[in-house]
Amino acid sequence: MGLSRVRAVFFDLDNTLIDTAGASRKGMMEVIKLLQSKYHFKEEAEVICDRVQVKLSKECFHPPSTCITNLRTSHWEEAIQETMGGAAYRELAEECYFLWKSTRLQHMRLEEEVKAMLTELRKEVRLLLLTNGDTQTQREKIEACACQPFFDAVVVGGEQKEEKPSPSIFYHCCDLLGVQPADCVMVGDTLETDIQGGLNAGLKATVWVNKSGTMPLKPSPTPHYTVSSVLELPAVLQNIDCKVSASALREPKAAQSGSETNVE
């Protein structure tokens, strides 16, 4: 990589800047209450929600092939029928889906500390939000947490030809900001998309937000930096720039002596 300071930072959204998993759990709890109180499902309510969660984890949005509302309503309908048997439960599935969705969106927010960090960082570098997923779903989250004003650009994977970890979406982000990949840092919680994508595109650095502190069980891409909270990012960026400054100071001496200097 060349000698250059960080000029831009790309942020993932879900479980990096906002607690999507926590918001989703709260949505599921509301559905369980509904099924138990209104429809008198007992332990079946939790089984249904567990089955929906599995279906959600297996979703694939790219290329987009179906309406997200129809797809996710079908998840609920199938889970209810698999658990309860009998005829279709379309109306109940719609009620469950919209309760889960609305509750989830209500709990998606940027914490004040995150807002303050983004505001300060933007004084020094350009910021871009880069999120995979269905266009409607991600745009609803972005609106719910009101995060767009904190960024110079927002890129949703479902609106592009390819998503993370494809290099093309990272190059598109660089073009939007007028920077080179070697000027940029990717910050995200998912090794297979955020970190691997940043590595694929040749970014200056990748920062893995590992809130749980657990290490992957299978071979995974290795991030340049690992933090437990996105709030640790300013210190990481300062460290990167300090390394660049130190390398720049050493470079003339190395050139005079005819030796080579390895730059991170």
Average pLDDT, the chain: 91
Dihedral of the alpha carbons of 231, 187, 174, 127, in degrees to the nearest 10: -20
Residue of 262 and 72 predicted with greater confidence = 72
Question: In sequence order, what are the beta bridge partners of 129?
Answer: 11, 154
Of the pLDDT bands very low, low, confident and very high (cuts 50, 70, 90), residue 86 is confident
Tokens representing residue 155 in the block: 């890129």
pLDDT at 94 over 90: yes
* Whether 6 contacts 241, CB under 8 Å: yes
Give the model confidence (pLDDT) of 165-174 as tens digits.
999 999 999 9
Q: Does the 20-107 domain belong in CATH 3.30.1540.20?
A: no
- Pseudo-torsion of CA 102, 107, 110, 111, nearest 10°? 170
Residue 119 is predicted with a pLDDT of 98
Running DSSP on this structure, what letter comes out for residue 191?
A: I
pLDDT at 180 over 70: yes
**What pLDDT, on the 0 to 100 scale, is given for residue 241?**
84
- The domains of the chain are located at 8-18+109-249, 20-107
- The DSSP H or E segment spanning 154 is strand 153-156
| Residue 176 pLDDT exceeds 90 | yes
Strand 184-188 and strand 205-209: the pairing is parallel
Side chain identity at residue 56, one-letter code: L
Residue 61's pLDDT is what?
A: 66
The pLDDT value recorded for residue 243 is: 80
Considering only residues 249 and 216, tell me which one the structure prediction assigns the higher pLDDT: 216
pLDDT at 258 over 50: no
pLDDT at 226 over 60: yes
Reported as a single tens digit per residue, the pLDDT across 205-223 is: 999 999 999 988 888 999 9
Peptide bond connecting 223 to the previous residue in cis, omega within 30 degrees of 0 = no
Q: Do 7 and 179 form a contact (C-beta atoms < 8 A)? A: yes
Mean of pLDDT values over 63-71: 81
CATH 3.40.50.1000 matches 8-18+109-249: yes
Nearest to 244 by CA among 263, 220, 224, 225: 263
Q: Does residue 263 contact residue 2 with C-beta atoms inside 8 Å?
A: yes
Q: What are phi and psi of 207, to 5 degrees?
A: -125, 115
Of 90-99, 196-205, 249-258, the least confident: 249-258
